[in-house]
Amino acid sequence: MTLTDCKSLTSEESHIRFDWKLDEIEKILRGPLIDLLWQAQQVHRNFNSEYKVQLASLLSVKTGGCEEDCAYCSQSIHNSSDISDQTDFDIKGVIEQAKLAKEAGADRFCMGWAWREIREGKPFESMLQMVRGVKSLGLEACVTGGMLTDQQAKRLAEAGLNAYNHNLDTSPEHYEKIISTRTYQERLETLIRVRAAGITICCGGIIGMGETTKDRASFLKVLANMNPHPESVPINALVPVEGTPLESLEMVDPLEMVRMVATARILMPKSRIRLSAGREQLGKEAQILCLLAGADSIFYGDSLLTTSNPSVKADRELLASAGVKVNCK
Ligand code: SAM
Ligand code: DTB
Ligand code: SF4
């Protein structure tokens, strides 16, 4: 498939592939933006019957105090960001937040736990009850909580969990410059456990952490050669947080986000590509270009985990000005 061919996809080209080569991906990622956008749009429309944006709201259930040393993260004990440890075992309170998210129009409710792995006992039992509560509202439920055991994955599946978010964050090559306390291989094994339990995978990463274009291609290669592809792929732009080793990095060029989204769309035609952290810094026009490039999900709600997100009102206006429909069920 060449990027400069402005034609419709043939049936051969419409096959979903799991054997992408690094140089092919790099060529797509670096290609003329105008052709990249065209190609991504064709793939998107060819594989997805309607253009609808999924709205996923986020809530941090356990905030801060995390043992991992992710260089971008405000919640790591290795960093000196001003985030106080806080755990919310108040199941009713969490369900109440989910209800508000649903009333504001969300499809999916994602709950975050800042820790290395899911803890047995009260924390895990509360997590299961939260998942059941979110599901009872008719929302999709997603959890992100680090590593888990096969048994925990099974119990989450039984509670009705739709998706588990566990990011690879960057390329295998760049990874060790960002995190030392957990290996890439451990992340891949967690994803296999989630998949084996019958829960869909939400797996993506961050750009703007000092990686090269080749690193971005290499990161996308790992995702695109998973069979099946992750059902959701969050693409975050680094939000540089004070007190983290990456605090003084500059915000990534918005067009780099457009390129990442478009390439992810071409490689993983049916996955939900979520335009994630960093949207406040992107501006309206770049976000619309990302939608055009095939982003079909956003985090929706005034806050992410510890940083802010565009307001619900601003997002309603954005989606209306782009003329896209929301809600996926
Ligand atoms: N502790 C769990 C884990 O790491 O799997 C879940 C929470 S963690 C905060 C979820 C993801 O948020 C990270 O993997 C990373 O991709 C993204 N993230 C965290 N801080 C970020 C930042 N400052 N800018 C952009 N993305 C960020
Ligand atoms: C993902 O890829 N991005 C979300 C979600 N998964 C959990 C988190 C973004 C966090 C941004 C920084 C913060 O708010 O702390
Ligand atoms: Fe912990 Fe997740 Fe933050 Fe890493 S990204 S420090 S694992 S909360």
Residues in the chain: 329
Q: Is 238 helix (H, G, I), strand (E, B) or coil?
A: coil
Domain holding 321, by residue range, is 22-326
Task: Report yes or no on whether pTM surpasses 0.85.
Answer: yes
d(CA 256, CA 207): 8
Residue scoring higher pLDDT (4 or 19)? 19
Domain count, the chain: 1
Q: Is residue 14 part of a domain?
A: no
Measured between alpha carbons, how far is 178 from 147 in angstroms, rounded to an integer? 18
Q: Which residue has the higher pLDDT, 80 or 109?
A: 109
Residues with a known catalytic role: 66, 70, 73, 110, 142, 202, 274
Answer yes or no: are the C-beta atoms of 64 and 85 closer than 8 Å: yes
Say if ligand 3 is within 6 A of residue 68 CB: yes
132, part of any domain: yes
CA atoms of 266 and 41, how far apart (whole Å): 9
Q: Considering the domain boundaries, does residue 177 fall inside one? A: yes
Q: How confident is the model at residue 82 (pLDDT cuts 50, 70, 90)?
A: confident
Q: Considering the domain boundaries, does residue 81 fall inside one?
A: yes
| Assigned domain for 5 exists | no
CA 311–ligand 3 middle distance (angstroms):
24
Residue 221 lies in a domain: yes
* pLDDT over 90, % of the chain: 89
Q: Of 83-87, 157-161, 163-167, 190-194, which range is least confident?
A: 83-87
Is 108 inside a domain boundary?
A: yes
In a domain, 197, yes or no: yes
CATH number of the domain where residue 151 is located = 3.20.20.70
Q: Is the pLDDT of residue 273 over 80?
A: yes
Question: What pLDDT is attached to residue 51?
Answer: 86
DSSP state of 43: H
Residue of 83, 167, 170, 178 best suited for mutating to test ligand 1, as the one with most atoms within 8 Å of CB: 167
Measured between alpha carbons, how far is 48 from 151 in angstroms, rounded to an integer?
34
Phi first, then psi, for residue 265 (nearest 5°) are -60, -45
Angle, in degrees to the nearest 10, between helices 122-136 and 150-158: 30
Secondary structure of residue 272 in the 3-state scheme? strand
